Amino acid sequence: MPRLLKLILAATLLAFPATAQARQVALGYLPAFKGMEQAAAGADFSYYTHVALAFVNPGPDGSFIAGDRLACAPNGDKTMLKVEAVKALAARVHAAGGKLVLSLGGGTVPQCAGDWAALTAPAKRAKLVAALTKLVDRVGADGVDVDIEWDVLSKIDKAGDYTPFVAALSAALKAKGRLLTCATASGEGGMIPQASIPYFDLVGVMSYDAIGQSWGEPGAEHATVDQARRDVKLWLDRGVPREKLLLGLPFYGYGFGAAKPNYSFRDIRSEYGDAALLTDTIGSRCGGCTYITYNGLPTLKEKARLARAQAGGIMVWEISQDTPDHLLIRSLQEEPDAAQ
C-alpha cells in the first residue's frame, strides 16, 4: 500500500473510530392503562430501542380515532388517550433514539373494544387495517405491536383469520416503512401460529407467569431461567430467526399467602431493601405459604446473557415497574457479553 494511502487511511480511522457492536434490541412496554403521562414521566427511554404503548384497541365499528382521542385506549381512568398526547410521546421516544409501536389487545381486552374476531374476518379486515395504518400515521408512530392473547387469539386463529390479518397489516405498514412486532406466550392456545412468523419484524416471548393467583403449581416460581431457556429454544425451533427473537423479562412479581398479590420490582426493593435485589424469592416458597416470586438482578442478568447469545434482544414488562433510578434496565445494558 502506498505511504500516502496509508496516511489517509490512518487519518480516517482516527476521525471515525470503530463503533461498538450494534445495540441489542430492548423493547419495553409503557402501560397507558395505568396513566400514560404518569408512567412516561418517570421513564428514561434512552435505555430502550423500542417502546410499545399498551394498549390500543378498535372501537365497536373498527375505528381507532374518535374526535381528538383514541377510540379505545384507557388512560388510567375513564378517559381515553388523546391523539396529541400520543404524538408527544412519539416525539419524546424519537428524541431518545427509539421507536414507538402501538400495542394491540392486551391480556384483558377493555370493554370499550370492538369484537376482534369479527373485525379481523374477511368482510371487515381491510377497513380495520386501513384505520390502524391511519392511526400510526396520525400520531407519528413507527409501527404496530400485536399483543392479542389467549382466548381472543385462539378464536381468531381457529376462524383462519389471524395470519391473513397479520399479513394484510404487514403489507400496509411495510408500504410506509413501518414495523410490525408481536408478543406471544409459549403454551397451547396462547402461541401465535407459525404461518404468521415471517410477517413480524420482532417476536417477543412472554417467558413468565408460570404461576399466578389462579393458575400454576402451588409453591412454584413464575419466571425461572430454565423456563427462559425452554422458551427461546421453542421459538427458534418454530422458525423465528434469531435476530428477530426477544426474550421477555418480568419487572414484577406475585405474592401468595398473606403477601399482596402483585408487586412491581420498585415496590419490592422499597419494602424489602437492597437484599431483595440478590434473590428471586422472599419468604418460604411452598403451597399455602406466604412468599413473593420475582426475578432479582442475578437472574435477570443471566437471562440477558442468554438473550445476547441465542436471541436478538429482550422485551420488558413493563417500564414503570423498574426502580426510580432505572436500576434493572441500566444493569442489564451494562452487563458485559458472556457466552451462554
- Strands (E) across 57-173 are located at 65-66, 69-74, 80-82, 99-106, 143-148
Indicate the SS3 state at residue 98. Answer: coil
Question: Would 243 be classed as within a structural domain?
Answer: yes
Determine the pLDDT at residue 145. Answer: 99
Q: Are 32 and 75 in contact (CB under 8 A)?
A: yes
The range of the structural domain enclosing residue 30 comes to 22-251+296-334
Long-range pairs of 151-160 with CB within 8 A, sequence gap ≥ 24: 151/189, 152/105, 152/109, 152/116, 152/117, 153/189, 153/190, 153/192, 154/189, 154/190, 155/116, 155/117, 156/116, 156/117, 156/120, 157/193, 159/117, 159/121
Q: How wide is the angle at C-alpha 52 spanned by C-alphas 49 and 55, nearest 5°?
A: 175
Establish if 114 belongs to a structural domain.
yes
Contact 51, 45 (CB under 8 A): yes
φ, ψ of residue 256 to 5 degrees: the values are: -130, 165
The pLDDT assigned to 335 comes to 56
Contact of 326 with 47, CB cutoff 8 Å: yes
Residue 191 domain-assigned (yes or no): yes
User: Residue 137 corresponds to which amino acid?
Assistant: D
The answer to whether position 339 is within a domain reads: no
9 within some domain: no
Report how far residue 36's alpha carbon sits from residue 92's, in angstroms, rounded to the nearest whole number: 13
Distance CA 266, CA 254 (A): 13
> What is the distance between the alpha carbons of residues 324 and 304, in angstroms, rounded to a whole number?
21
259 located within any domain: no
Is 83 inside any structural domain?
A: yes
Q: Residue 79 has what DSSP assignment?
A: S
Identify the CATH number of the domain in which residue 72 sits: 3.20.20.80
Domain count, the chain: 1
Edge-first strand order for the sheet with 281-283 is 262-264, 252-256, 291-293, 281-283
CA distance 100 to 336: 27
User: Could you tell me the pTM of the whole model?
Assistant: 0.92
Sign of CA dihedral 97, 85, 328, 253: negative
d(CA 320, CA 318): 6
3-class state of residue 18 by DSSP:
coil
Which one, of 162, 146, 187, lies nearest residue 55 by Cα? 146
6 in any annotated domain: no
CA separation for the pair 72, 78 (Å, rounded): 11
Per-residue pLDDT tens listing for the chain (340 residues): 444 333 323 333 333 333 334 679 999 999 999 999 999 999 999 999 999 999 999 999 999 999 999 999 999 988 999 999 999 999 999 999 999 999 999 999 999 999 999 999 999 999 999 999 999 999 999 999 999 999 999 999 999 999 999 999 999 999 999 999 999 999 999 999 999 999 999 999 999 999 999 999 999 999 999 999 999 999 999 999 999 999 999 999 999 999 999 999 999 999 999 999 999 999 999 999 999 999 999 999 999 999 999 999 999 999 999 999 999 999 998 755 443 4
Residue that the C-alpha cell 382466548 belongs to: 151
Number of CB atoms found within 10 A of residue 275's CB? 10
What local confidence, expressed as pLDDT, does residue 316 receive?
A: 98
φ, ψ (nearest 5 deg) of residue 73: -145, 80
Please list, residue by residue across 83-100, b when 16 or more beta carbons sit within 10 angstroms of its beta carbon and e when fewer do: bebbebbbeebbeeebbb
